[in-house]
Structure 1
Amino acid sequence: MIMPKNPRQTSKAAASAAAKVLASSKSSKAAKSAAASALSQTPSSKSKKK
């Protein structure tokens, strides 16, 4: 099964905030799950065109 490309991507600011949530020991499990989901939608370095 081939997964379709997701055109929606997380902004750099949102990705930075999500990374902080994941790094915090005080963040809830739900917050970490949402942050991980946001980071999974960030563009990968492999997909960037030179």
Structure 2
Amino acid sequence: MSGDKTSQRAAAIASKALQDPKSLTSEEVQTLAASVLSQPANQGQQGQQKGQSQQFQGQPQGQQKK
């Protein structure tokens, strides 16, 4: 499937970007942008909500760091 190859390539580029952002070529930046923009809009929001609920898990309400 073409999407699988694109996803693997985008993941590899994202990993490279985290290690050395200045090493990305303009083509790699475009690939990452296209990958992000091709995701369903609600997919990112669901992941973000899960991350937020896990981030504060275990802390009593009202006791979060300021």
TM range (shorter): 0.3 to 0.5
Q: Report the TM-score when normalising by structure 2.
A: 0.35
- For the pair shown, which has the larger CA radius of gyration, 1 or 2? 2
Q: Report the TM-score when normalising by structure 1.
A: 0.43
Q: Which has the higher contact order (CA 8 A, sep 6+)?
A: 1
